[in-house]
Amino acid sequence: MIEVTERARQELKKALDAQGQQEEGTNGLRLALVGPDEFGLGVDVEKEGDKVIEHEGSKVLLVEDALAEQLEGITIDVHESEAGPKLVMSKTE
């Protein structure tokens, strides 16, 4: 399973709140492969088989089971950049 640090969970929750988590029919940010070695996040609903990451009782990250298997041993964390906090993925040691 993908590891998600507490700080990353907090940032995901902020991003979800900014996207309007309460939009009818949505309940989390979906991590998806959008290109070769490129990932994106979008507001979505939980689907059967999804791996779900929660923060403070809210679903903040949804990952399709097949993608979660491919990302086994990966940690999602937050690094500061000039533009602000940025989610980064790295191999768990």
The pTM assigned to this predicted structure is 0.86
With contact defined as beta carbons under 8 Å apart, do 75 and 43 qualify? Answer: no
Structural domains of the chain sorted by starting position, each given as residue range(s) with its CATH number in brackets: 3-91 (2.60.300.12)
pLDDT in tens, 55-78: 988 899 999 999 999 999 999 999
Nearest to 42 by CA among 67, 1, 12, 4: 12
Strand order in the sheet with 38-44: 38-44, 28-35, 58-63, 51-55
Largest CA distance in the chain: 39
pLDDT in tens, 17-61: 887 655 556 688 999 999 888 899 988 999 999 999 999 888 999
